[in-house]
Amino acid sequence: MLKSLPDGLSLEEFRNLDSSYEEAAQMVGMTFETMGLLVQKDIASLQIVQELTGGLLLMLWRKIEFQIKETRTEQNNPRFGEWVQWLVERIEEREGDIQPAFIAYADSKRHRPR
């Protein structure tokens, strides 16, 4: 649902959509909030999270960034979506070093043994 939204949608424009978009954004936001905190606390590896969701997260951030930032201002709550943004920034810092899996592992016919 969220991927069909235009990049940079304002909070007002977002609220004018069907309520199912807000529910989807809340579910996605909570997922990435959790991942961000787990990475920061060294419970989950940034490399694994980036390989698992990096491209998706960066695309979704373009869709929901303004809603998160405008909600922070509107609610006077600078912590709203804090770990989503933190995770996005960490992934963006490393994104130039990451190849898509279908390229990076093109020669691998099965998983790599440990």
60-109 pLDDT, tens digit per residue, is 999 999 999 999 999 999 999 999 999 999 999 998 888 888 888 888 87
**Domains: count for the chain:** 1
**Using the 8-state DSSP alphabet, how is residue 112 labeled?**
P
- C-beta separation of 64 from 6 below 8 A: no
What is the pTM (predicted TM-score) of this model? Answer: 0.86
Which residue range forms the structural domain that includes residue 50? 8-104
Is there a domain that residue 109 lies in? no
Is there a domain that residue 92 lies in? yes
pLDDT digits (tens, 9 = 90+) for 7-48: 988 889 999 999 999 999 999 999 999 999 999 999 999 999
Is there a domain that residue 70 lies in? yes
Is there a domain that residue 111 lies in? no
Is there a domain that residue 100 lies in? yes
Is there a domain that residue 114 lies in? no
Is there a domain that residue 50 lies in? yes
Query: What is the spatial distance between Cα 93 and Cα 109, in angstroms, rounded to a whole number?
Result: 30
Is there a domain that residue 51 lies in? yes
